[in-house]
Structure formats: structure tokens, C-alpha cells
Structure 1
Amino acid sequence: MARALTTIGFDADDTLWHNERYFALSHDRFAALLADHSERDQLMARLLEAERRNLPHYGYGIKGFTLSMIETAIEVTDGDVPAAVIADLLAAGRDMLAHPIEILPHVEDVLEELRGQFRLVVITKGDLLDQERKLAQSGLRARFDAVEIVSHKTEAAYREIFARHGAGAERGLMVGNSMASDVRPMIDAGGWGVYVPHDLTWAMEHAAPPAESARFAEISDLSELPALLREIDLG
């Protein structure tokens, strides 16, 4: 009997390793630097607006986030932001680009268990150099059959990726911590979308769960993934 699944896609940031915690630390640093000019909640709201506005220009990742912090600092100070603050924000961005990689629990054991059973693919978005750095430093590269770093995770992107690395999205599964990027577009492409929550998730990655879909599942952490895959594979 043919297997239901051939290929498993894994998000990287906050699915394989911690990432958002470094953005949270930069938020704290940003708020402290601009405390004389804006309340924290208002400042964070304006920063999120800048990030949304800049995504079409800078894409996802730390570099775009850093530029959005600088833009917001200019806005809230009416153009009078001190050069020292700009320098500090640039330093914050560099610190984020050099942060250590901390693998999330169960990742290595689960990848080792699944190797050879399915084609395993990292599917991540963001800055190419930063994503390549994190994957290299994680020590996980050899556990995967392929790596895809994309500008946006869309239905079309998933269809193309799972066609190249398997038998199409219909026989693929994507697992990640973002409803908006990892789950909903994969289900729209015809595949399975598995949500594994992380304590910290960027506001722009939030979306309503596709509870009406038979191809949606939620697990508490990656240790539950092998049992779910067996269930799906047996139909």
C-alpha cells in the first residue's frame, strides 16, 4: 500500500531552534532607548506598523527589523533621534545576527527517528545569510535531505517545493509554529499542516487555526510528531 506521506517540511525559527527571544530582547533595548519619547505599548505598535509597511521592501529577517526600529525611532522623535541611539540600534541588529543557536527540545531525537522514513526538508524564510548561518551552527544540516530558504511561504511556494522534493503537496506535511506561514498556506496547497506552538511568536505570524480542515493538527511539542505521522500514514 502506498504511503500517505513522502515528505516532511520543518520550519526553522522557533520550531527547530529559539529565535523570537532575541527579538524580544531587542524590543526591551529599543523601548529603553526611546523611553523619553514614547510609552512602550505605543512604541511597539508603531514598530509593528513599520514592519508591516516595510515587508514588501526588506522582506523578513533581522536586517529589515533593524531598519524598522531606526525608522520608528526617527518618527517618534520627530526626526531628532540622536546619532548615539541610531548606533545602538545598529549594534542591536548586529548582536541579533550573531546570537547563539539553541536547539529546541526533542528536535534531534525526532529528526533521527524520521530519517530514512520520509524526505526531510527545512523550509524557512528570511535573510539568506542569517538562515544559512543558523542552520550551519545548529549542527542539524546533515539530518535533512534539502533546505529551502524562501522570501515568502505561500500556497504556490509549498506546491513547488513539495513537487520537487516529494510526490506533491498532497503527500507532504509542514510543521511549524506559525499558523499564518507554516499551516494555513500548506493546507491551501493540499497538504497537511501541523502547528507546534512556541511561547513567543511574532504578531504577524498569528492566524485563526483552520479547524475545519481534516488535514490540520496541533501537537504540544515535536516529541508527538512521530506518532501523528504514523496515524496519518496508516490513513
Structure 2
Amino acid sequence: MLIVETIAKIRREHRDGKPIKEIARDLRLSRNTVRKAIRAPEADFSYERKEQHRPQTGPFRERLDELLAENEERPRRERLRLTRIHDLLEREGFTGSYDAVRRYAARWKQERHAGGSGDMSKVFIPLMFRPGEAYQFDWSHEDVEIAGKPMRVKVAHMRLCWSRAPFVRAYPRETQEMVFDAHARGFAFLGGVPTRGIYDNREMSR
């Protein structure tokens, strides 16, 4: 179950008169976490916990492991962005969010490079976003056919974190000029500029 759905369930059961102790027991949460979910303002709840469990990828976990491992073996310039991996999973029936894939991939990468002993003791998890608070931006490469000729293009992906509204635009390559152009067109299409951006590629966000 998604975290946002868990919060909604906590609040719904509390409104129906279910005691906090029983809610915490049934959902395997601490009573303090349940109280915080109930008392926090709408769309403004987050918490820090000692252990970050794997995002819920369900029966697609093995497939996601396979895609991540294959991607890791690719030359750096040919690696798929996480948005592309999420799209591939969706085509195979995956109904989870991009955030679930992103969090799983981050944990997978940390465990792979740290021999499975990554320290996840301090993980801050944003559970909800306010309208206009943030957007996600990433690139993927796609093989297309234009005028009968196969070619590879770079595709800019922008998505609002609150509404999940998407913007996608293809370019012949990924340059700084095209990064700026994709942002300008994306903000114009979505009708405004969110407060902050979330990037998978740290170099691109600098």
C-alpha cells in the first residue's frame, strides 16, 4: 500500500471511532506515527523513521531488479533514465508510481555498491506535495523512425509532483540549451513554475 493511502486510511478509521492503539496495531505503526498522521495539516505530513522498507513493487520486483542490473551494465551514455524504466514496467502491467521505482532504485544501487550494508538510518520521506510545490525532471533516450530512417532521440520528461500532470518533448540530443528549452516549454505548458525541482541526475541539476 502506498504511504499516502496509509495516511488516508488512518484518518478514515480515526473518524469512524477506531482507537489509535488498534490502528497502530493493525497497520504495524507506532502510536506516535498514527497520532502525527491524524493531527498534521492536510498535505503537510512527513516523518523520519529508523528503517526505510523497500517500496511496494509487488510481483514486479524481480523484473525491476533485472532492468536495473541490465541498465547498470550499459555504457553510461546509453543508460535508461528511471522515467523510462517506469514506463517499461507500466507497459508490462505495473500500476505503481514513479516515486516507488525511484526509491527502490536508490536502495538497490546503494546495496549493490555497499555490498548490501547501506546505512538507511536517516531517511526523510515526503509523503505529500502541495500544489505547485515541486516537479520532477529527467531524460530518456528513445529509438524512433523519422522520414523512414531510424534514429535515436533524447526525450525530456517533466511531471508535477502533486497532480502528476506530465510534459514530454523530444530533442536530437541533450545539451544545456535543450535542458533550458525543455524547462521553459514545460513550465509554459503546465501553467507555472513550481517552487523546486527534483532531479535523478545530480550533475544536470547544478
TM-score, with structure 2 as normaliser: 0.30
| Structure ranking higher in strand proportion | 2
| Structure ranking higher in helix proportion | 1
Q: Which fold has the larger relative contact order, with Cα–Cα distance below 8 Å and residues 6 or more apart in sequence? A: 1
TM-score, with structure 1 as normaliser: 0.27
